[in-house]
Copies of this chain bind each other. A is one copy, B any other.
Amino acid sequence: MLTGTNLTYTKAFNHRIVFETIRLNGPISRADIARATNLTAQTVSNIVNRLLKRNLIMEGKRMQKKRGAPSVTLDINPKGAYSIGLDFNRDHLTGILVDLAGNLVDKKYFEVNDPTPEASIKLMAETAEDLFEKDKYKNSYLSGIGIGFPGPMQVNQDNTVSNVVNPKSFTHWKNVPVLKLLSQHIDAPIFLENNASAAAIGERWYGVGRNISSFLYSFFGVGLGGGIILNGQLYEGANDNAGELGYTPMDAGVSPLSNSDHPHIGEHFDLTRLYNWLAKSDIKVKSPQDLRALYLDKNEKFMEWIELAKELLAPAFLSVENLLDPEVIILGGRLPEEILKDFSDGLSTRLNNMRIVEKTTGPEFLTATAGEDAAALGAATLPMFDLYAPQPQVLIKKNGQNNSDD
């Protein structure tokens, strides 16, 4: 709804603006922050002192530039807050602990096999507890826990999680109240998100998207997912389906991996199907790392898949260009970097040829900075982003919400 604002919200927003300015430009002085943000020096000074008290930033050494008094530099305090990210899948759970600067502090990896909700919740809770041991991080602040779910699963409005789209991959999951169950074990804010969207936020906050306000993140996970960042914020669409390139139709028979009535390109990127298809040619793979080896070997069969992948992605990305006109398209996920790089190069040239003559520019293709842990890092970013990112929504009143925060 149309809600107003007041000074409390102003304050919260300005705190975030100053924090973000330090995060992106640090080390930076109070005076430079004032210039960058159009806030007065006095205001910046007050906000900085409050952020210092909260241990979110720290002072560095004095720096003299030209004349005048030397300035004290400010920088993010990595130990000011921590966050846990869980990347949950049918076959594995990755849990990571990151600090405020986005550094990977700790990591746990578990192989699972189509786990029940009960077993999953238990594993998630234990992993989270292990990652942030109370005595080890005695005086530190845990901003929260983010959990990324594989693309085909859906985080419902009521925060239950179900797999509406592909019931066969997660046999035991249907409208599971993950948030409710987890909060019985965990005393910290919990955030649920589709792993592609989470990865997009991660890339926006810590990765190549730091200075890019609009991009599409193509996430190669178990299948093909997507997350869209517009004006610095996650755009999920009316039904949380925005960016789902995988649904793009393709002609029947084009991909040997397709087996549906409505062939769509997502099928070609289903890793399980890819492994099975390769197995038919006696090529044994069971992980993205195995694919990397195949790729470096220039394995003929796998190269066939790669070429077809680019063939299928090209028109989909042309649609992205025409419809969304993003500055950048980021490729990331579980596929090895070399393969993503191959995609990005191949797609760039393909799009140049497909574009109508009068148009000369298109989005730039980049590969994500986060590697195989993109989803987990993205999940870990969710609480951080919620607490510290300068989102315009912060400025707008919400019923019964208290914004005080000193």
Q: Which residues of A contact B (CB under 8 A)?
A: 1-7, 9-10, 13-14, 17-18, 20-21, 24, 36-39, 43, 164-166, 214, 226, 228, 230-231, 235-245, 247-249, 260-262, 264, 315-316, 318-327, 354-359, 361, 363, 390, 392, 395-399
If A10-B10, A247-B359, A322-B244 touch, does A392 touch B390 (CB 8 Å cutoff)? no
Bound CA span A260–B248, Å: 25
Q: Please state if A6 and B17 are interface contacts (CB–CB under 8 Å).
A: no
Name the 6 nearest CB pairs between A and B, nearest first. Answer: A237-B325, A392-B392, A238-B327, A4-B39, A242-B325, A319-B319
Q: Please state if A230 and B235 are interface contacts (CB–CB under 8 Å).
A: yes
The answer, among B3, B17, B261, B321, for a CB contact under 8 Å with A37, is B3
Q: Output the nearest chain B residue to A240 by Cβ-Cβ distance.
A: B325
| A–B complex contacts, Cβ < 8 Å, 23 sampled | A2-B21, A2-B36, A3-B17, A4-B14, A4-B37, A4-B38, A4-B39, A5-B10, A9-B10, A13-B395, A38-B398, A39-B397, A214-B237, A230-B235, A238-B326, A242-B325, A243-B323, A244-B322, A244-B323, A261-B357, A316-B319, A392-B396, A395-B395
Q: Output the nearest chain B residue to A3 by Cβ-Cβ distance.
A: B38
A359 → chain B, closest Cβ, in Å?
7
- In the complex, what residues of B have CB within 8 A of residue A264's CB? 356
Beyond the given A2-B17, A6-B39, A239-B325, could you list 14 further A-B residue pairs with CB under 8 A, ordered by the A residue number? A4-B14, A4-B17, A4-B37, A5-B14, A10-B10, A214-B237, A231-B235, A236-B325, A245-B322, A245-B323, A248-B322, A249-B315, A324-B324, A392-B392
Q: Output the nearest chain B residue to A232 by Cβ-Cβ distance.
A: B2
A256 → chain B, closest Cβ, in Å?
19
A177 → chain B, closest Cβ, in Å?
22
Bound CA span A2–B35, Å: 11
A354 → chain B, closest Cβ, in Å?
6
User: Chain A: interface secondary structure?
Assistant: loop
Q: Please state if B357 and A318 are interface contacts (CB–CB under 8 Å).
A: no
Q: Please state if B238 and A325 are interface contacts (CB–CB under 8 Å).
A: yes
A291 → chain B, closest Cβ, in Å?
26
Q: Please state if B354 and A262 are interface contacts (CB–CB under 8 Å).
A: yes
- In the complex, what residues of B have CB within 8 A of residue A248's CB? 318-319, 322
Q: Output the nearest chain B residue to A390 by Cβ-Cβ distance.
A: B2
Q: Output the nearest chain B residue to A395 by Cβ-Cβ distance.
A: B395
- In the complex, what residues of B have CB within 8 A of residue A228's CB? 323
Q: Please state if A324 and B237 are interface contacts (CB–CB under 8 Å).
A: yes
Q: Please state if B7 and A326 are interface contacts (CB–CB under 8 Å).
A: no
A348 → chain B, closest Cβ, in Å?
16
Bound CA span A237–B165, Å: 30
Q: Please state if B1 and A6 are interface contacts (CB–CB under 8 Å).
A: no
The answer, among B5, B7, B398, for a CB contact under 8 Å with A13, is B5
Q: Please state if A358 and B164 are interface contacts (CB–CB under 8 Å).
A: yes
- In the complex, what residues of B have CB within 8 A of residue A321's CB? 241
Q: Output the nearest chain B residue to A24 by Cβ-Cβ distance.
A: B2
Q: Please state if B318 and A320 are interface contacts (CB–CB under 8 Å).
A: no
Bound CA span A247–B120, Å: 46
Q: Please state if B244 and A355 are interface contacts (CB–CB under 8 Å).
A: no
If A17-B2, A354-B262, A392-B395 touch, does A241 touch B7 (CB 8 Å cutoff)? no
Q: Please state if A395 and B244 are interface contacts (CB–CB under 8 Å).
A: no
A27 → chain B, closest Cβ, in Å?
17
Bound CA span A68–B262, Å: 61
